[in-house]
Amino acid sequence: MSDELEIDLDDLQRRMDGAMAALKTEFASLRTGRASASMLEPIMVDAYGQKTPINQVGTVNVPEPRMVTVNVWDKSMVGAVEKAIRESGLGINPQLNGTIIMLPIPELNEERRRELTKVAGDYAERARVAIRNVRRDGMDQIKKAKGAGMSEDDQKFWETEVQDLTDASIAKVDTALETKQQEIMQV
């Protein structure tokens, strides 16, 4: 087996892991009824003429299981931070206390929990599609290598390797989805 005919499994693995990391980030933004600082990560604040992540204009804390606080460093930014939270679609009503914005996390009702499990399922499906696209790229590399003189045995070997990577990554997505859905449905 010559070196130029080998398939870069590390690159394929890295790209599949990237899809998994993106899924975990999306899952972190889903509310589960428990307070989490990561639920505010996607929120961008209009600060000083540009969009800035909320954690760069204040300190995000979770002082108790159903409360998130944002201690805004610049008093003039409190209104912009509050507005960004209101418009974020999290469904949380911010309460002001000086430069501290308190975010009480309400209980999720059954209907909202079911909606969130569907959203989690959509996120997982997008991750599966991304992983399958990486698999397709790997299979295309194998076809090119076969055209460049790869033996049939080597082709089968590499196809099996790429498929094993894909199966393992899809299994990780399924496990993460199951865990997240249980977390959402937990009362």
pLDDT tens track for 152-173: 999 999 999 999 999 999 999 9
pLDDT at 174 over 80: yes
The token duo for 15 is 């790209």
Calculated CA dihedral for residues 185, 64, 46, 24, nearest 10 degrees:
-40
Helix intervals (H) in 46-151? 78-86, 110-147
Q: What's the half-sphere exposure (Cβ side, CA atoms, 13 Å) at 139?
A: 12
Rounded to an integer, the average pLDDT of 29-54 is 81
pLDDT-derived band of residue 3, with 50, 70 and 90 as boundaries?
A: very low
Domains along the sequence of the chain with CATH: 9-27+109-185 (1.10.132.20), 34-104 (3.30.1360.40)
pLDDT at 35: 74
Rounded Cα distance, 5 and 57, in Å: 51
